[in-house]
Amino acid sequence: MRTSMLGEIPLADIHIPEGRAPRTLVRNILARGLIEPVVLRLAEDGSGGFEPVAGRRRLQALLEMGCKSVVALVRVENDGQSPADITLSENLVRSRNLLSEVQAYREMRQSGRSLEDIQKELGIFKRDLKTLDVLSDMSLRTESALADGLLSPSGAKVLAKLPVEAQDAYFTQSDSEKYTLDSVKAWRMSYLFQPDQMSFLLEIPLH
């Protein structure tokens, strides 16, 4: 059985990965506070500290702001399950944080900001900037599935590389309410290699 405890945890007791939080996230926390608690688990190194499951960037932002503690949801494993087993609620937190960055990216691109300026403003790596660029092409239906935790960020990234109508068609043809990465990849392949698009292969000599 896995239980959860909500409490105030000193930042010094949390193993926060090195990195610079996105500037938009810092501004949001300064203006609105920390709306959703970060999710922690006991550190696997036996130090007695904690490590983040969801909310790494929020922790980095709080550290930059000089905060000393954070209200966090601590997952306690007592049935032998791996702490890497992420629950739906934790995935929702991650997806919503990602969506806020995608929206910030869209707004900055629309305002004419260069990719270099956006990277500096958000405080992210180039690979993360490329991910935001791809996700900015999500259809409303893809974005909604990501926000609701029904679609993983990886699945959304695969779908976002397709035209909007192809993205929406995936949800129409799917029989499941949970959209797996494998099913998204299969749909993308079926779209890219439709029979009428592969007819040219019939004209290639076999000898």
The string of pLDDT tens digits covering residues 156-180 is 999 999 999 999 999 988 776 678 9
Q: Domain span at residue 173?
A: 88-192
Q: Do the domain assignments include residue 20?
A: yes
Q: Is residue 49 predicted with pLDDT exceeding 90? A: no
- Amino acid in the structure at residue 153: P
Structurally, the chain folds into a number of domains equal to 2
* 182 plus 153 within the same structural domain: yes
Q: For residue 140, give the CATH number of its domain.
A: 1.10.10
Q: Do the domain assignments include residue 207?
A: no
The string of pLDDT tens digits covering residues 6-25 is 778 888 888 888 878 878 78
Q: What is the model's pTM?
A: 0.55
* 108 plus 174 within the same structural domain: yes
Q: Do the domain assignments include residue 173?
A: yes
* 10 plus 34 within the same structural domain: yes
Q: Do the domain assignments include residue 200?
A: no
